[in-house]
Chains A and B, each alone.
Chain A
Amino acid sequence: MVISDATRTAIEQEIAKYPLARGALLPALHHVHAEHGHVSRDCAAELAEIFEIRPIDVLEVVSFYNMFYDTPQPRHHAYVCTNLPCSLRGARGLLRQLEAHLGIRAGEATPDGRIALGHEECLGACAYAPMMRVDDQYHEDLDVEKAKSVLDALD
């Protein structure tokens, strides 16, 4: 079993909130990501069983959403918003600096499996640009030094 008992219980609790069980699929996927960081084939099969759908139905949903992955992920995701308001305030230059700092390109992960660096679309922090999302946290009003120290502090 890939999905732990604790997560299964959490999923069952989510299912209870919805008129149709499948409504809890996105919450379940969030729980699975919290536990494993991605949805493996086996995981998809187990979720399919819980929700009485097909494994490909699970993977189809995973493939549609930015926050879901079907391949193993590094411990942290660091995404710089590069949409228009943020770009107007230097977001892309900041991203380049972070690429240099980590020694990787956006879309790649550090070899030690620590950080995946990337860019995202508008995160709803337009007046506090440039900014980035690191996992569940926003880091706003960034300059290069601040951004670097946020990344350096990640385990």
Chain B
Amino acid sequence: MLEVPYVTSYLTEHFADDSFQTLEGYERRGGYAGLRQALEQEPEAVAALVKEAGLQGRGGAGFLAGMKWGFMPKETDQPKYLVCNADESEPGSFKDRILMERGPHQMLEGILIAAWATGADKTFVYVRGEYAFAAERMERAIAEAYERGLLGEKVLGKSFRHDVVLMRGAGAYICGEETGLLESLEGKKGQPRKKPPFPAQYGAFGMPTTVNNVETFSHVPHIVNNGADWFRGFGTEKSPGTTLFGVSGQVQRPGLYELPLGTPLDEIVYEHAGGPLEGRQVKGVIPGGMSMPILPASMLDVPMANEFLRERKTMLGTGGIMVMDDTTCMVRASCVISYFFRDESCGQCTQCREGTGWTHKIIERIERGAGREQDLGILEDIAGKMEGQTICAFADAAAWPIQGMLRHFREDFVEHVRLGKCPFTQSFEL
């Protein structure tokens, strides 16, 4: 399905035009001008520009892209790789899919500029296995690029070679974790690696590697074309640029909204997405993909940028905004959430493997009406034991939603225990 964002900006303004997906159509709209410009500059200068622009990674962690590029060794005999993380599997997120389906060349241009800036020889685009259509669109764009000399031995005639290989995943959320992706890329189970070593030293196939998200790459051509100041004109001081917010759940207009970072959450939910469904009130909103702690309706007056969201004990994540209204049982929602994390844990670390299983079983038992008072304390305790102590952040991502729910919707849980059943007769079916 080819969907167009409701609100567009520089990333998605041409998405309604199908021809934008072709090389010809993309160039007609100014595509690959940024690459041509970048190739005239020193790689270090391009990297410095992106760093100065303050582009944060859009894959959920928010790490400065320019800084990450700087970790790649400058002088080395080893091949250097880029990886485009197109494994988008965070529940509530669907922006990368649309960026690939409707703007494949934009992403490809960003990859090529990044390759020039870091000296990378090859890029692996790792697309989640279920995104068959997006993968097909990317393959087509890659083929066009090769045909036109934008990829291969001499990119645009320069003595700069770059290749792009697209690989499909096969259905495992954890392959969206940087090093889990690298393991999967190498043909193994996608179990994240312990760090050190870090990907810039030991990455794909043991070589220096930088992993960036689809959207992160997509911003790059615009930064090169228009400069750091221009980019900083969008968003906040600490979080410049736009992002694609994906709104879903119990709202009038679920969809994609390309807005500057820092746009208030309530503005997105009530104005852009039209607010709750007829006759209902918003109860809670998960602001950044399902790993991020939920906010109650009373706390939605927060700019959507990490520096503000952190104060409310949540984060931007992937900007997947999920709206729940007052018919929704938060215990039931927690069942869905904890089931997901139990299913997707790779199983390596004790706390994650056992913690995701145990918390899911407890929450499910509470929903069934067999909860005990002490269960809530146990849930908080387990979540605390999962945080910050594992090979990767998946255990944190599994713990945070539970902490958020108990922080803001404890009454829902207490009622289940008190009544011995779920009191939300109108809630979505489980």
**Residues of A bordering B, CB below 8 Å:** 17-20, 22-27, 29-30, 51, 60-61, 64-68, 82-85, 87-90, 92-93, 96, 120-129, 133, 136-138, 140
6 A-B pairs whose Cβ atoms sit less than 8 Å apart in the complex = A26-B167, A61-B189, A83-B290, A121-B89, A126-B91, A126-B320
| Contact (A30, B168) CB under 8 Å given A84-B333, A92-B429 | yes
A26 & B168 in contact (Cβ 8 Å cutoff) = yes
Q: Is B270 an interface residue (CB 8 A)?
A: no
A122 & B90 in contact (Cβ 8 Å cutoff) = yes
B429 proximity list for chain A (CB < 8 A): 87, 90, 92-93, 96
B246 & A127 in contact (Cβ 8 Å cutoff) = yes
A66 & B170 in contact (Cβ 8 Å cutoff) = yes
| Contact (A90, B254) CB under 8 Å given A67-B130, A125-B1 | no
Q: Which of B47-55, B335-343, B372-380, B406-414 makes up part of the contact surface? A: B335-343
Q: Give the number of A-B contacts (CB < 8 Å).
A: 161
A129 & B248 in contact (Cβ 8 Å cutoff) = yes
A88 proximity list for chain B (CB < 8 A): 248-250, 322-324, 328, 333, 428
- The distance from the CB of B29 to the nearest CB of chain A, in whole angstroms, is 25
Q: Is B217 an interface residue (CB 8 A)?
A: no
| Contact (A121, B91) CB under 8 Å given A83-B340, A92-B428, A127-B3 | yes
Most buried by B among A85, A87, A89, A121: A85
A126 & B189 in contact (Cβ 8 Å cutoff) = no
Q: Is B261 an interface residue (CB 8 A)?
A: no
B63 proximity list for chain A (CB < 8 A): none
Mark interface residues in B58-77 (1 if CB within 8 Å of A CB, else 0): 00000000000000000000
Determine the distance from Cα of A60 to Cα of B131 in the docked complex, in whole angstroms.
23
| Contact (A84, B79) CB under 8 Å given A24-B187, A126-B320 | no
A84 & B322 in contact (Cβ 8 Å cutoff) = yes
B246 & A67 in contact (Cβ 8 Å cutoff) = no
Q: Is B129 an interface residue (CB 8 A)?
A: yes
Q: Which residue of chain B is the closest to A27 with respect to CB atoms?
A: B167
B91 proximity list for chain A (CB < 8 A): 83-85, 121-122, 126
B328 proximity list for chain A (CB < 8 A): 88
A25 proximity list for chain B (CB < 8 A): 187-188
- The distance from the CB of A111 to the nearest CB of chain B, in whole angstroms, is 26
B185 & A66 in contact (Cβ 8 Å cutoff) = no
B262 proximity list for chain A (CB < 8 A): none
The 5 lowest CB-CB distance pairs between A and B, nearest first, are: A66-B171, A25-B187, A126-B248, A127-B254, A65-B170
- The distance from the CB of A128 to the nearest CB of chain B, in whole angstroms, is 6
B404 proximity list for chain A (CB < 8 A): none
Q: Which residue of chain B is the closest to A133 with respect to CB atoms?
A: B130
Determine the distance from Cα of A121 to Cα of B337 in the docked complex, in whole angstroms.
10
Q: Which residue of chain A is the closest to B430 with respect to CB atoms?
A: A92
**Residues of B bordering A, CB below 8 Å:** 1, 3, 79, 88-94, 96-97, 128-133, 165, 167-173, 184-190, 205, 207, 246-250, 254-256, 286, 290, 320, 322-324, 328, 333, 336-337, 340, 343-344, 346, 428-430
Residue of B130, B170, B337 touching A123 (CB-CB under 8 A): B130
B131 proximity list for chain A (CB < 8 A): 124
- The distance from the CB of A75 to the nearest CB of chain B, in whole angstroms, is 17
A87 proximity list for chain B (CB < 8 A): 333, 336, 428-430
A85 & B188 in contact (Cβ 8 Å cutoff) = no
Q: Which residue of chain B is the closest to A135 with respect to CB atoms?
A: B132
Residue of B89, B190, B205, B322 touching A85 (CB-CB under 8 A): B322
B92 & A84 in contact (Cβ 8 Å cutoff) = yes
- The distance from the CB of B64 to the nearest CB of chain A, in whole angstroms, is 26
Determine the distance from Cα of A94 to Cα of B374 in the docked complex, in whole angstroms.
35
A61 & B187 in contact (Cβ 8 Å cutoff) = yes
B185 proximity list for chain A (CB < 8 A): 23
A24 proximity list for chain B (CB < 8 A): 187
A17 proximity list for chain B (CB < 8 A): 165
B428 proximity list for chain A (CB < 8 A): 87-90, 92-93
| Contact (A64, B187) CB under 8 Å given A26-B170, A128-B3 | no
Q: Which residue of chain B is the closest to A64 with respect to CB atoms?
A: B189
A19 & B171 in contact (Cβ 8 Å cutoff) = no
B89 & A122 in contact (Cβ 8 Å cutoff) = yes
A26 proximity list for chain B (CB < 8 A): 167-170, 184, 187
- The distance from the CB of A73 to the nearest CB of chain B, in whole angstroms, is 14
B187 & A124 in contact (Cβ 8 Å cutoff) = no
B129 proximity list for chain A (CB < 8 A): 30, 65, 67
11 further A-B pairs in the complex, CB-CB below 8 A; given A67-B171, A88-B328, A127-B94: A51-B187, A65-B171, A92-B428, A93-B428, A93-B429, A122-B90, A122-B92, A122-B340, A124-B89, A126-B246, A127-B254
A22 & B187 in contact (Cβ 8 Å cutoff) = yes
Q: Which residue of chain B is the closest to A131 with respect to CB atoms?
A: B1
B3 & A121 in contact (Cβ 8 Å cutoff) = no
B322 & A125 in contact (Cβ 8 Å cutoff) = no
Q: Which residue of chain B is the closest to A63 with respect to CB atoms?
A: B189
Determine the distance from Cα of A20 to Cα of B188 in the docked complex, in whole angstroms.
12
